Amino acid sequence: MAVAPIPFQLPNITKLSVTSDKNQNLDRASRSIRFSVEQGAKLVVLPEMWNCPYSSDYFAKYAEDFDNRDASPTWSMLSEAACCHGITIIGGSLPEWDHGRLYNTCCIFGPDGKLKAKHRKIHLFDIDIPGEISFKESDTFTAGDQPTIVDTEVGRIGIGICHDIRFPELAALYRKRGVDIICYPGAFNMSTGELLWELVQRARAVDNQLFVATCSPSRNSTGSYTIWGHSTLVGPSGEIIVTSGHEETTVIAEIDYSNIQLQRKSLPLDDQKREDIYKFIDVHELNP
């Protein structure tokens, strides 16, 4: 999809302080979206698991069946907000029930309020660092099995959720399919966040010469899982365009997609790749 080199406002609706009161979370998100629109936003990105605390004790309780709209207040709020304000919303992620299975799901809504795409987290986060953190997302959620690319009024967007960002193969696939920006709602913890959160964002952006946007809940969110925070927009040369701390805030930045082509023209990585060599490498020869 061709994208004109016209700047637009992209706010990361970041650091939403998530509470155990679902209605309060919905109201806070709705007000944040409205504030962003007043600042000129055309694309709004919400955090991972913003309608409930990030805890296995809450996921099933707060989950919604998106096919049952009358029982899906989060889905309805996002749809109505997108339509009311005429914007595209990357709806963070929500716990979704579907045929008896629980998914970590991101819904993307267009300016008409209709669902444009739905991404289910592909790579589930299981970690065990003795003395620091032990968490198994796979005990609760079912993994998604499809990448998600959506054409919008503000460009071609690839979607990942949190741990999806650790896998460069997914980002490379999005690059090959013409994505302009990858949006990753995420909730890295204190251990992995300090070491890796900024690093992997910049790596995905610079390796693929595109934009990367991340959005996290605030660190003071309710739940036993302590969140690192720090939402960021990274440009195609790996530069940080804007970032935040760990507190609740709204980050707004301007994107110019022409910078993607400028970067790729200056450093034509696709032309320099040696697929003829990569596909014949035997890993056992490299690591005898």
For residue 135, the cross-strand partners are 127
**Dihedral sign computed on CA atoms, order 194, 196, 199, 200:** negative
Is 215 an annotated catalytic residue?
A: no
CB 211 within 8 A of CB 8: no
Q: Given the residues 162, 183, 215, 248, select the one marked as catalytic.
A: 162
CB 198 within 8 A of CB 231: no
Tokens of 185: 């709602």
Give the helix/strand (H/E) hosting 19: none
Is 162 an annotated catalytic residue?
A: yes
Query: Whose CA is closest to 190, among 150, 163, 229, 239?
Result: 229
Tokens of 253: 């930045």
Is 183 an annotated catalytic residue?
A: no
List all residues 6 or more positions away from 276 whose beta carbon is below 8 Å from its beta carbon: none
Q: Given the residues 15, 116, 118, 121, select the one marked as catalytic.
A: 121
> At which residue do the structure tokens 């109201």 appear?
27
Tokens of 166: 């650790």
List all residues 6 or more positions away from 44 whose beta carbon is below 8 Å from its beta carbon: 11, 13, 33, 36, 37, 87, 88, 89, 90
Q: What angle do CA 133, 134, 139 make, to 5 degrees?
A: 150
Q: Which residues are catalytic?
A: 48, 121, 162
